[in-house]
Amino acid sequence: MAFDTKAFLDACSPPTLIHEGQTYVGKVLSFQEMLPLQEEFDKIQASEAGLGDIESLTSAVCDKIGIPKEIVLALPPGGVLAALQDFLESLMSLNEEQLSQMNGSDSPPKE
């Protein structure tokens, strides 16, 4: 069995932001691009991070994925953290329908 990298990338769910009827679709990051961002997010969640730390990470994530940071940073702090978490989780997930097509079945893979 071969691993089809194109099919896998097609099954990835890009981060998406909807603001006032406009949809912004970001890009899927590579493992190497994602790792430092996820590590920073984990540090922020585990500590008493200041708003400056959250702003820096938000700017970095938005710049990397191509989502307008001005929209995200206009949210209250809890909304900024929720958006960051959603973006990072979407980068780690796969579109179940496309993944099942990639695997040649109609049902999602067993975990």
Q: What is the pLDDT of residues 55-92, one digit of tens each?
A: 999 999 999 999 999 999 999 988 998 999 988 888 77
Q: Residue 96's pLDDT is what?
A: 61
Q: Residue 50's pLDDT is what?
A: 86
Q: How far is CA 18 from CA 24, 62, 71, 89, 102, in A?
A: 6, 14, 10, 16, 28
Q: Residue 7's pLDDT is what?
A: 78
Q: What is the mean pLDDT of residues 11-23?
A: 88
72: which 2 tokens? Answer: 């995200």
- Round to whole Å and give the CA distance between 93 and 86: 10
Backbone angles phi, psi at 45, to 5 degrees: -70, -30
